Amino acid sequence: MLRLIPVLPFLGFLVNASFGRRISRRAAGAVASAVMLASLVVALVAAGNLVGLPNPGRALVEPAFSWISSGDFSVNATLRLDPLSAVMILVVTGIGSLIHIYSTAYMDKETDSEYARYFSYLNLFAAFMLVLVLGSNFLVMFVGWEGVGLCSYLLVGFWYQKESASDAGKKAFIVNRIGDFGFLLGVLLAYVRFSTLDFQDLARSASALSPETSFGTLSLITLLLFVGAAGKSAQIPLHVWLPDAMEGPTPVSALIHAATMVTAGVYLIGRNAVLFSHAPITLTIVAAIGVATALLAATIGLVQNDIKRVLAYSTVSQLGYMFLAMGVGAYAAGIFHLYTHAFFKALLFLGSGAVIHALGGEQDLRRMGGLRRELPIAYSTFLVGAMAIAGVPGLAGFFSKDEVLFQTYAGGHTLLWIVGLVTSLLTAIYMFRLVFLAFHGARGEEPGAAHHPSHLHDAPPAMALALIVLALGSIVAGYAGLPRALGGSNRFERFLEPSFIVSQETRRAAGLQGDLEEAETATASLEVGLMAVSTLVAAGGIGLAFFFFLRNPRAADDMVNRFAGLHRVLANKYYVDEIYDVTVVQPIRIVSEDGLWRGIDVRAIDGTVNMVGETVVGSSEILRRLQAGSVRVSAASLFLGVVLILGYYLWR
Amino acid sequence: MVPVGACLGLSAVLFGIGLIGFLSRRNIILMLVSVEIMLNAVNVSLAGFSRQLQDQRGQVLALFVIAVAAAEAAVGLGLVLALSRNRPGVNVEDLTQLKW
Amino acid sequence: MPPGITFGDFYNILPELVLTAGSLVVLIADVLLPRRSGGWLAWITLIVIGATLASLVPFRETRVEVANGLIAVDQFALFFKVVFLGAAALTVLMSVRYLEIEGASPGEYYFLILCATLGMMIMAGGIDLITIFIGLETMAVSFYILAGFIKPNQRSNEAAVKYFLLGAFSLGILLYGMSLMYGLSGTTNLRVMAMTFAGQESDPRLILAVMLVAAGVGFKIAAVPFHMWAPDVYEGAPTPITAFLSVGSTAASFAMLLRIFLEGLPSMKPEWRVLFEGLAIVTMTVGNLAALTQSNLKRMLAYSSIAHAGYVLIGVVAGTPRGVAAMLIYVLVYAFMQLGAFIVIVLMRRQDIVGDELKDFSGLHVRHPFAAFAMLMFMLSLGGIPPTAGFMGKFWLFGAAIDAGYVWLAVIGVLNSAISLYYYIRIVVFMYVKKETAGSEPTMSPALGIALAVAVIATIALGVYPRLLFELAEASARTLGAAAITTAIR
């Protein structure tokens, strides 16, 4: 049954890819949405079956086929559903279905064949994402890992018509090469060390060890895996590609670059929680990178003027929270935040999509304003999303973010907690800045606003449906993990715990906080206190945004003027792109193009060859004319190779 | 009787001449001739070894080398002919359409 | 009959005899058939290849030395022979349309392809310097002519002359090394040589011989720094020949390399291991980095094939049966993905367009979805992404390296495949993302369709179900001078 979950979207991909041009767009959209819904139903049934199993070690395992087997080594293409992957498949199929439905309306301006192509990529993406989360070993996961990356390129590039736009793809390429390198190396080392690639076996082998207090193999493996995770999940310093990926259609941003693919890195750490728990050094790095990313991205989000870019940096920032949770060993809290974030961030993206759709492609916040009257559905749902992410009590984001911050504090990481809290203040500010600039105030403060059509259409039914369902989700999703301190039983995390079984001794030895229950009962009052602080922070942030961006916009300009330098740094995203360009992109280009290709192949080999040639031939005049493509250079290179090799052996 | 050392010495000198010739000549035909000299150096050393070892296989190999060298020369000249039909001259330095 | 050669010897080289006879049939048919009947000739050639494949069947279990140790008939050779014949068949399939468009009369084209294949088969079976040399030259001379087959085309001329000159030069070096090996051991038979050389590893003359031979072989597999001919020749030669050269010739040279070094020089293992280790690293890295900035697909694939030779060299460094098995696996899967990519390039060749520039591929998925999908698979496979065959090949190679204690060599390999994905995926993006198109619509011919389908199916099937291939490769690898491998000194 499990294999149906990825296979159904894959069938949708096949249908749309092969017959897309021959069937009507209505049919193409319907097929794509239907397979996702069917996959959701299967996922629900599977999750239901899973819950029905006895608790410790509950899992559904379905070997698809024996993939590689040779001697003592074998890898099976096995799917495995445990609580962690159950949450992931529900998020992917659930949010995925909604986004497919939303897209049927959003993409209505495309030609028929483009429309079918879009849906075939979207289905393919979902299939790979489901393989990624259902795989029971690194190899199956890697299939999904690369597959979603490929689909991401294809979908981001969906609207590329100009040459300049391919730069965004290039950046994503380079960053993901670095990430993949880390990932593969980590997998390779894990195999060398443990002789298995199965997550269960790895966890079993690792739990027999004691945590590494100094930097050792486990730390290296996990660190490399984290490099992979950081590439996929846009963590510092590999975050540069995500904002550029916003060039793609908005539903794609919602699905791939907010709700699912970018969380794969978090999932990777959750999946290997045992390994990571045995490498406290890596965990510290994960937490530090996570919180730094959260803060940095939030500050950049403050000054962006493109509605989708604000949301993109917000995603990076929220992913930082998830990594923070992972880093302090609060795996369940991290996944909880992943799950609630999927709702409200998808909602925010789709809401911004409704705005962009209504304005005919306008994405600049400065040219928006006062949209709340014309787009009531988009406005009200967007507001719910903004409140959820800002941490307004009672909404999904409040519970999960608070859980992360609480676990951070309870684990004794006060500094991380403070940074996290500051970030949540910034989150409230930038999010409500967005709300106020787009939906409140007056329109037409900037040139270009006049081009808006006089009457704007609110979200069409398919889009409205998705928005409303997600808004409801953003309100209620958090109650699945209602903390004990508020009279709940933290059912969500309790459900997830078996996926992260880490023994008490390990936890203590690794400096992670102890048992969840123990922590909860001991510090219920602390948790309530922290919640109160967060609530105040959220309220303060919203208030500040209200003051600066609605009540008194000039104050905001004053601030910009007063801190012009800081503003410039933020507006330029800390110049990370420029730094990359100078330190990574140019050197690689120079090394490969000017260096190796023209240089080594042409210049250096030629040059060295020239020298040998002089001694051999005794004629510099001829050799100066040597150039690439010359037979004599090639021959000399061959001869030089022999001389070098012989020289090595004689000298040795 | 010629000692084997002399054979090998001759072979090495011949090989060096061929090698240097190949690396220094610009005329394709002369480069071809240089290769032939290198192959003949091989033949000399094969014959020398064969004689020293009282083993026929070296001579067999030398015979094949001679045959192959002839075939190569034929093919090489054919290629040069085809080349010069499209553009005059047999200067190897002119072969730079394919580069980088 | 000469002494020592029996009728049984002739039976054991039946596939080679069938191929020789078949190639003569093709040559005669070319004279007898009316002009402009390239299609017929191609089908006759395919039948000859099929017959040769069929004649391999009785030798599935055979393990003998033929004619006093001139040629070995074993599963190692068998595996390679299947690869050569398969590659030759795909090459013939993609040649029909190409020759038509280029306006070249097929003439001796198909005959030469069969000759080259015959040479490769002899190289794979050769355990004597004489046979290896003859096989090598049969293959090489055929390729010299084939590379220059489009006579009115200056680029084709240039490629042929370059290949010929450098090939002849490297042959001289290789032969000089071989003559020294003969002189030092007193035999041309590799297996006897292995015994004579045991214990005299430090003889500088022997080291000189080994290095000269390594350079000659390195030229054939296009290992850096002996690689400079490859990009030029690949770009200029007719596309099907480029494909066959990069797959068949490279594979045969690897077979020869394994025969010479694992069977003939096992006691020198510590010496040549260091050499190939260095070559592997430099070759992978230079190949991949140089490929990054190419905009001509044939040239890019040339550098990429240099890089792949570097990966395969990892298996030589490992030197274990597992490493050899990994090389066999890689050579086979590489044949399909590389040939497949060239089939797509041939498909792109139309009257009005050369079709090997990157921009020719933009928007291909709209114009020809199947070709685009096939190319996607080949690129993913070349880049080593599961579940394609290329991933399995790399996985096995790197696994073998780790097994033999060369973890960091595997690390460099992984780094290189991460780099290489960049330029492979760039092609995918051009095909699936860009919209502007160039030239007329590509149209499929039946032969191209069959070839493309075979290559795609193999690329996917060997990635999804690699088990059979693994077992075959391991069984074959074990027959490569089994005694030699086990007695090798680590």
Q: Identify the weakest region by mean pLDDT among A340-344, A375-379, A384-388, A506-510.
A: A506-510
CB contact C148 to B (< 8 Å): yes
Q: Say what the pTM is.
A: 0.81
Q: Is the pLDDT of residue A510 over 70?
A: no
Residues of B in contact with A615 (CB under 8 A): none
- pLDDT cut 70: percent of chain C above it: 95
Taking CB atoms and an 8 Å limit, are C183 and B45 in contact across chains?
yes
Could you read off the pLDDT of A243-268 as tens digits, one per residue? 777 878 888 888 888 888 888 999 99
Q: Identify the weakest region by mean pLDDT among A49-63, A479-493, A625-639.
A: A625-639
Which residue, among A221, A60, A75, A245, has the nearest Cα to A159 in the 3D structure? A245
Q: Which two tokens stand for residue A540?
A: 């303060």
If one counts every other C-beta atom within 10 angstroms of the C-beta of residue C30, the result is: 21
Taking CB atoms and an 8 Å limit, are B68 and C168 in contact across chains?
no
The answer to whether the beta carbons of residues C356 and C345 sit under 8 Å apart is yes
Residues of C in contact with B15 (CB under 8 A): 172, 176
Residues of A in contact with B31 (CB under 8 A): 631
Taking CB atoms and an 8 Å limit, are C425 and A73 in contact across chains?
no
Three-class SS state of C430: helix
Which residue of A174, A596, A649 is in closest CB contact with C286? A596
Q: How confident is the model at residue A598 (pLDDT cuts 50, 70, 90)?
A: very low
Q: Is the pLDDT of residue A66 over 50?
A: yes
Q: Which of B:30-59 have CB within 8 Å of C?
A: 31-32, 35, 38-39, 41-42, 45-46, 48-49, 52-53, 55, 57-58
Q: Which of C:106-135 have CB within 8 Å of A?
A: none
Any idea how long chain B is? 100
CB contact A507 to B (< 8 Å): no
List subunits contacting chain B, requiring 3 or more Cβ pairs under 8 Å.
A, C
Q: Is the pLDDT of residue C465 over 70?
A: yes
Compute the nearest-CA separation of A623 from chain B (Å): 9
Q: Which residue would you say has higher pLDDT here, C59 or A495?
A: C59
Residues of C in contact with A17 (CB under 8 A): 369, 373
Three-class SS state of A66: strand
Task: State the best of C162, C175, C188, C293 to mutate against chain B, taking most chain B CBs within 10 Å.
Answer: C175
**C6-to-B55, C1, C11, C12, C298 alpha-carbon distances in Å:** 22, 7, 9, 10, 47
Taking CB atoms and an 8 Å limit, are B93 and A630 in contact across chains?
yes
Residues of C in contact with B22 (CB under 8 A): 169, 172
Spatial distance between the Cα atoms of C122 and C117, rounded to a whole number of angstroms = 9
Q: Which residue would you say has higher pLDDT here, A160 or A403?
A: A403
Could you read off the pLDDT of B52-66 as tens digits, one per residue? 888 888 899 999 999
Compute the nearest-CA separation of C311 from chain B (Å): 23
CB contact A613 to B (< 8 Å): yes
Spatial distance between the Cα atoms of A95 and A469, rounded to a whole number of angstroms = 10
- pLDDT cut 90: percent of chain C above it: 40
Task: State the best of C161, C185, C242 to mutate against chain B, taking most chain B CBs within 10 Å.
Answer: C161
Spatial distance between the Cα atoms of B94 and B28, rounded to a whole number of angstroms = 10
Taking CB atoms and an 8 Å limit, are B24 and A622 in contact across chains?
yes
pLDDT at C359: 80
Could you read off the pLDDT of B13-48 as tens digits, one per residue? 999 999 999 988 888 889 999 999 999 999 999 999
Taking CB atoms and an 8 Å limit, are B96 and A628 in contact across chains?
yes
Spatial distance between the Cα atoms of A494 and A491, rounded to a whole number of angstroms = 5
Q: Is the pLDDT of residue A617 over 70?
A: no
Could you read off the pLDDT of A231-240 as tens digits, one per residue? 888 887 777 7
Q: Identify the weakest region by mean pLDDT among A467-476, A495-504, A525-534, C401-410.
A: A495-504
Which residue, among A515, A548, A560, A309, has the nearest Cα to A428 in the 3D structure? A548
Per-residue pLDDT, averaged over A390-417, amounts to 84
Which residue of C162, C293, C471 is in closest CB contact with A631? C162
Taking CB atoms and an 8 Å limit, are C187 and B57 in contact across chains?
yes
Spatial distance between the Cα atoms of A486 and A406, rounded to a whole number of angstroms = 13
Three-class SS state of C126: strand
Residues of A in contact with B93 (CB under 8 A): 625, 630, 632
Beta strand C71-73 pairing with C64-66 = antiparallel
Compute the nearest-CA separation of C486 from chain B (Å): 28
Which residue of B8, B35, B64 is in closest CB contact with C172? B35
pLDDT at A502: 64
Q: Identify the weakest region by mean pLDDT among A514-523, A535-544, C298-307.
A: A514-523
Per-residue pLDDT, averaged over B70-76, amounts to 92
Which residue of C229, C434, C470 is in closest CB contact with A634? C229
Q: Is the pLDDT of residue C115 over 80?
A: yes
Q: Which residue would you say has higher pLDDT here, A88 or C354?
A: A88
Residues of B in contact with C148 (CB under 8 A): 79, 82-83
Taken in order of first residue, the domains within chain B and their CATH numbers are 4-86 (1.10.287.3510)
Beta bridge partners of A74: A69
Compute the nearest-CA separation of A179 from chain C (Å): 9
Spatial distance between the Cα atoms of A270 and A334, rounded to a whole number of angstroms = 8
Q: Identify the weakest region by mean pLDDT among A48-57, A197-206, B73-82.
A: A48-57
The answer to whether the beta carbons of residues C147 and C160 sit under 8 Å apart is yes
pLDDT at C137: 94
Question: CA-CA-CA-CA torsion for C451, C457, C463, C465, nearest 10 degrees?
Answer: -130
The answer to whether the beta carbons of residues C320 and C68 sit under 8 Å apart is no
Taking CB atoms and an 8 Å limit, are C172 and B19 in contact across chains?
yes
Q: Is the pLDDT of residue A536 over 70?
A: yes
pLDDT at A626: 37
Q: Identify the weakest region by mean pLDDT among A521-530, C24-33, C376-385, C407-416.
A: A521-530
Spatial distance between the Cα atoms of A648 and C224, rounded to a whole number of angstroms = 16
- pLDDT cut 70: percent of chain B above it: 94
Q: How confident is the model at residue C370 (pLDDT cuts 50, 70, 90)?
A: confident
Taking CB atoms and an 8 Å limit, are B99 and A619 in contact across chains?
no
Which residue of C211, C214, C398 is in closest CB contact with A188? C398
Q: What is the CA A371 to chain-centroid distance, rounded?
A: 30
CB contact C137 to B (< 8 Å): yes
- The B-side interface with A (CB below 8 A) comprises 19-20, 22-24, 26, 31, 92-93, 95-100
Per-residue pLDDT, averaged over C209-215, amounts to 90
Three-class SS state of A306: strand
Question: Helix and strand tally (H, E) in chain A?
Answer: 31, 2
Q: Which residue would you say has higher pLDDT here, A552 or A624?
A: A552
Which residue, among C197, C220, C213, has the nearest Cα to C143 in the 3D structure? C220
Q: What is the CA C12 to chain-centroid distance, rounded?
A: 24
pLDDT at C3: 62
CB contact A635 to B (< 8 Å): yes
Spatial distance between the Cα atoms of C345 and C354, rounded to a whole number of angstroms = 9
Q: Identify the weakest region by mean pLDDT among A31-35, A597-601, B89-93, C373-377.
A: A597-601
Could you read off the pLDDT of A270-293 as tens digits, one per residue? 888 888 888 888 888 899 889 888
The mean pLDDT of chain A is: 77
CB contact C108 to B (< 8 Å): no
pLDDT at C339: 94
Q: How confident is the model at residue C87 (pLDDT cuts 50, 70, 90)?
A: very high
CB contact B95 to C (< 8 Å): yes
Could you read off the pLDDT of A103-124 as tens digits, one per residue? 888 887 777 777 888 888 889 9
Taking CB atoms and an 8 Å limit, are B23 and A630 in contact across chains?
no
CB contact C422 to B (< 8 Å): no
Residues of A in contact with B100 (CB under 8 A): 597-598, 602, 628-629
pLDDT at C102: 82
The phi-psi region of residue A143 (left if phi > 0; otherwise alpha if psi is between -120 and 50; otherwise beta) is alpha
Beta bridge partners of C309: none
pLDDT at B41: 94
Q: Is the pLDDT of residue C486 over 60?
A: no
Which residue of B22, B23, B99 is in closest CB contact with A628? B99
Spatial distance between the Cα atoms of A287 and A408, rounded to a whole number of angstroms = 9
Spatial distance between the Cα atoms of C386 and C211, rounded to a whole number of angstroms = 37
Chain B residue with CA closest to A593: the answer is B100
Spatial distance between the Cα atoms of A195 and A202, rounded to a whole number of angstroms = 9
Q: How confident is the model at residue A613 (pLDDT cuts 50, 70, 90)?
A: very low
Q: Is the pLDDT of residue A483 over 80?
A: no
Which residue, among A509, A477, A329, A500, has the nearest Cα to A399 in the 3D structure? A477
Beta strand A60-70 pairing with A73-81 = antiparallel
Give, rounded to a whole angstrom, the gap between the first and last alpha carbons of chain C.
43
Chain C residue with CA closest to B23: the answer is C169
Residues of B in contact with A639 (CB under 8 A): 19, 23
Beta bridge partners of C189: C128
The phi-psi region of residue A369 (left if phi > 0; otherwise alpha if psi is between -120 and 50; otherwise beta) is left
